[in-house]
Amino acid sequence: LYKKVIIIVIKTFKHCFSGTRFRPLSFEVPKPLFPVAGVPMLQHHIEACAKVPNMKEILLIGFYQPNEELNRFLLNAQQEFKISIRYLQEYAALGTGGGIYHFRDQIVSGSPEAFFVLNADVCSAFPLTEMLRFQKEHGEPNSFVILGTTANRKQSMNYGCIVENEETNEVLHYVEKPSTFVSDIINCGIYLFNPDIFQHIGAVFQKNQQDIQLRDSEPTNGWHRAEAIRLEQDIFTALAGQGKLYVYKTLSFWSQIKSAGSAIYASRLYLNQYHTTHPERLATNKEGSPKITGNVYIHPTANIDPTAVLGPNVSIGTGVTIGAGVRVRESIILHGANLQDHCCVLNSIVGWDSTIGKWARVEGTPSDPNPNDPYAKIDSETLFREGKLTPSITILGCNVTIPSEVIILNSIVLPHKDLNRGFKNQIIL
* Whether residue 181 sits in one domain with residue 59: yes
pTM score above 0.75: yes
Q: Is residue 239 assigned to a domain?
A: yes
Report whether 337 contacts 357 (CB < 8 A). Answer: no
Q: How many CB atoms lie within 10 A of CB 295?
A: 23
Q: Is residue 33 assigned to a domain?
A: yes
The domain of 122 spans 6-256
Q: Is residue 115 assigned to a domain?
A: yes
List pLDDT tens digits, range 92-144: 888 889 889 999 999 998 788 899 999 999 999 999 999 999 988 876 767 89
* Whether residue 137 sits in one domain with residue 178: yes
Q: What pLDDT was estimated at residue 343?
A: 98
Q: What pLDDT was estimated at residue 189?
A: 95
Report whether 369 contacts 376 (CB < 8 A). Answer: yes
The CATH number of the domain holding residue 65 is 3.90.550.10
Q: Is residue 270 assigned to a domain?
A: no
How many domains does the chain fold into? 2
Low-confidence ranges of the chain (pLDDT < 70): 1-5, 11-22, 139, 141, 215-225, 380-388
* Whether residue 206 sits in one domain with residue 294: no
* Whether residue 291 sits in one domain with residue 252: no
Q: What pLDDT was estimated at residue 122?
A: 94
The CATH number of the domain holding residue 383 is 2.160.10.10
Q: What pLDDT was estimated at residue 260?
A: 82
Q: Name residues whose C-beta falls within 8 Å of residue 316's C-beta, 6 or more positions apart in sequence.
A: 38, 296, 297, 298, 299, 302, 304, 310, 322, 328, 333
* Beta-ladder partners of 84: 57
* Whether residue 241 sits in one domain with residue 147: yes
Q: What pLDDT was estimated at residue 136?
A: 86
Q: Is residue 418 assigned to a domain?
A: yes
Q: Is residue 330 assigned to a domain?
A: yes
List pLDDT tens digits, range 405-419: 999 999 999 999 999
* Whether residue 344 sits in one domain with residue 246: no
CA–CA separation, 271 and 289 (whole Å) = 19
* Whether residue 298 sits in one domain with residue 189: no
CA–CA separation, 205 and 211 (whole Å) = 10
Q: Is residue 49 assigned to a domain?
A: yes
